[in-house]
Amino acid sequence: MPWGMWAQSAAPQEVAKGVWFLEGDAHAGYCNSIVIEMKDYLILVDPSYPGRTKELMAEIPRLSPKPVKWVFDTHAHGDHSYGNAQWTKVGATTLAYVGVREEMDLYEPTRWRAAMSKREDVRATGANDVERPKVVFRGDKFVLKDATREVDFLHLGWGHTRGDGYVWLPKERILCTGDAAVNGPRNKLWDADVANWPKVLDKAAALGPKVVLPGHGDMGGVEIVTGQAQFLRDLYAAVKAQMDKPVAEVRVTLPARDANWVRPDMSQHIGIIYSEIKAGKPAGALPHVWQ
């Protein structure tokens, strides 16, 4: 379903036996979350903001009586990770790729405090900083496995952020992408390596997912991953072809295939890519302020 048709509040969808997709309320800034049932416990992918975590804590017991043991942050952004502390307080262990902790150390508590000025749910925590993941993995894979299923936590490279983590269920062929691939024009590029991002998505698509659960927007198939990659390639190429112009004069007209990811105002995307190309290093490695 295209981005413009998102439901404000969606009931949990059981994608496979013991795997639920919980679409976050976009109007509240929430990301999507996924619950994965293991033999004796549950895994939550992306706790989102504190307000959403409060909702999830009420909703998840209606899906399964098992406790949430692991909470995975797909990346460091607040709409995916700012509920961390609420989960550790009730006994869960937060998990992420090491790059998530590194990005939090780099950008926090500045971003947390900015969120406090805008969001009551962040202010209500009484905290002054985001809680870092308690467990981080290095390398490209961390595995949880029992008699029910195998769950692979993957780092495939620097895309949306340097800490991007994917969750892959090999038996069910379900891929959770966080914001590395979204269904609609919801991504920001400030922390990205835009040139490398499509290459990372190629690796994700090569897994052969039958179902893709994105960080924002409705679930779908591998077209969410390949479409996001194509959009980024087309946008990057369009900006690169105009590097002889001042950035304010750069305009892009993208193919119809990219329509699902195109914003009404592309100037922010253009400016970030222009700066990345000019500097010859990832946009996320350049000085920037999250907007």
Residue 95 lies in a domain: yes
Taking the C-alpha atoms of residue 45 and residue 32, their distance in angstroms, rounded to an integer, is: 9
CATH number, domain with residue 125 = 3.60.15.10
In this prediction, residue 6 carries a pLDDT of 39
- Walk along the chain (291 residues) and give the pLDDT tens digit of each residue: 343 343 444 799 999 999 999 999 999 999 999 999 999 999 999 999 999 999 999 999 999 999 999 999 999 999 999 999 999 999 999 999 999 999 999 999 999 999 999 999 999 999 999 999 999 999 999 999 999 999 999 999 999 999 999 999 999 999 999 999 999 999 999 999 999 999 999 999 999 999 999 999 999 999 999 999 999 999 999 999 999 999 999 999 999 999 999 999 999 999 999 999 999 999 999 999 988
Residue 256 lies in a domain: no
Taking the C-alpha atoms of residue 58 and residue 66, their distance in angstroms, rounded to an integer, is: 13
Residue 158 lies in a domain: yes
Residue 226 lies in a domain: no
**pTM of the entire predicted model:** 0.95
Residue 258 lies in a domain: no
Residue 265 lies in a domain: no
Residue 92 lies in a domain: yes
- Split into its structural domains, the chain has a count of 1
Residue 94 lies in a domain: yes
Boundaries of domain holding 171: 3-221
Tell me which residue of 175, 204, 167, 187 sits closest to 284, measured CA to CA: 187
